[in-house]
Amino acid sequence: MAITISNYGINLIKRFEGCRLSAYKDAVGVITIGYGWTKPIDGKALTMGTTITQAKADALLKEGLKSYEQKVLKYDYRYHWNQNQFDALVSFAYNIGSIDQLTASGTRSLAEIAEKITAYQKAGGKVLPGLCRRREAEKQLFLKPLSGPTPSDADSPRPLTSPSAAPDVKVNTPEGNIKSIQAWLNARYKTGLAADGIFGPKTRAALLKAFQKETGCVRIDGLWGSESKTAASFHILKKGSTGILVTIWQACLICCGFLPGEIDGDFQETTLNATLSFQEAYGLMQDGIVGRQTWQKAFSS
């Protein structure tokens, strides 16, 4: 039976690709959605107005990985990949396109392949820090020996939106947490906030601007208008969701006085519990799902 990518490998890809449910242009201008998907969806070409659900994004990733698994498997006769090597190379191929050049069409040794992985750090002719971190993670996984059981979901890398996607917060210092979130909003979204640790109208508007930008809104104005309402209706979060919108939601929870745990872009039990507490405090249906009404309370209360 042919080897397939493990959950560990899938989560490695999710960690660096990130998930966006509205189409956007990547670092070199290619229209992209989900976890780096650039092809038509259900026969329809991607446009900047395309949106999908989280379930569709996950399905597209799994579907898209099949062809990249084959690109790695075509050299299995030569290298007899173990699971870690295979996972690392499928991640590499999903980002680069193939492993033909990396393996020099099957003429390089395993040691040479490992050393060459980190040479692929550019997009559009520029070295990107995110690619540097991804290549290093792929190299370390490629070199990791198989010992004991296959890595489990619990061992998997967190599916962060990107290495720089989340502010550093400590749940026992509310003012410091808000300062970290304000600094992160300034660095990522150029919001010009005073990092004063106070959750006021300007910080609330900055979080909404971040939401508007990440959901593809035309107006990035920090106002809860019709376009924001529509975006909130399409971008629904729940346990198991990952990506930058989860990061923004976790930041909203922290600022509103609820504790989702580490801000990591991963909607798990602590974020679910904080969401339920938020919904109870604001008189919302306690379903743990972040839909239009829950987003609205966070941005316009």
Check which CATH number belongs to the domain holding 178 and give it. Answer: 1.10.101.10
Range of the domain at 198: 174-300
Assess if residue 281 is contained within a domain: yes
The single-letter code of the amino acid at 141 is: L
The pLDDT-based confidence of 109 (bands split at 50, 70, 90) is very high
Residues 95 and 195 in one domain: no
Is 52 in contact with 60 (CB distance < 8 Å)?
Answer: yes
Q: pLDDT value at position 288?
A: 92
Which are the contacts of 140, defined by CB distance < 8 A and separation ≥ 6?
A: none
- Give me the CATH number covering residue 49: 1.10.530.40
> Around Cβ 248, how many Cβ atoms within 10 Å?
30
Residues 56 and 108 in one domain: yes
Q: Are residues 131 and 178 in the same domain?
A: no
164: in domain = no
Structural domain includes residue 187: yes
**Do residues 286 and 235 both lie within one domain?**
yes
Residues 11 and 128 placed together within one structural domain of the fold:
yes
The reply to whether 269 falls in a domain is yes
User: How much is the pLDDT for 218?
Assistant: 83
Asked if residue 110 is part of any domain, the answer here is yes
The token pair at 145 is: 């020996």
To the nearest whole number, what is the mean pLDDT of the chain? 86
pLDDT at 155 over 50: no
125 & 179 share domain: no
Find the largest Cα–Cα distance for the chain.
Answer: 64
Tell me the two tokens of residue 120.
Answer: 């692929």
Considering 147, 164, 196, which residue would you say is the last residue of a domain? 147
Please classify residue 195 by burial: count the beta carbons closer than 10 Å to its beta carbon, then call 0-12 exposed, 13-18 middle and 19+ buried: middle
Question: Is the residue at 166 inside a domain?
Answer: no
* 171 pLDDT above the threshold of 60: no
Indicate the number of domains in the chain. 2
Q: How many CA atoms lie within 13 A of 103 on its CB side?
A: 22
User: At residue 16, does pLDDT exceed 60?
Assistant: yes
Whether 128 and 220 share a structural domain: no
Cα–Cα distances in Å, from 121 out to 24, 57, 128? 21, 25, 6
Residue that finishes a domain, picked among 106, 129, 147: 147
Least confident range from 68-77, 224-233, 262-271, 282-291: namely: 262-271
Please say if the pLDDT value at position 162 is more than 60. Answer: no
In a domain, 59, yes or no: yes
Q: What's the mean pLDDT in 243-258?
A: 91
Query: What pLDDT sits at residue 241?
Result: 87
Model confidence pLDDT, tens digit, residues 217-249: 888 999 999 889 988 988 899 988 888 899 999
Buried b (16+ CB within 10 A) or exposed e, 77-107: eebebebbbbbbbbbbbbbbebbeebbeeee
Statement to judge: residues 199 and 275 lie in one domain: yes
Same domain, 77 and 192: no
Clarify whether residues 137 and 197 are in a common domain. no
Catalytic residue among 17, 69, 138, 214: 17
Report yes or no on 169 lying in a domain: no
- 27 and 139 part of one domain: yes
The predicted model scores a pTM of 0.50
CB of 34 within 8 A of CB of 13?
A: no
| Domain end among 128, 147, 166 | 147
pLDDT at position 14 is 85
The answer to whether residue 63 is catalytic is no
Kindly state whether residues 142 and 179 are assigned to the same domain.
no
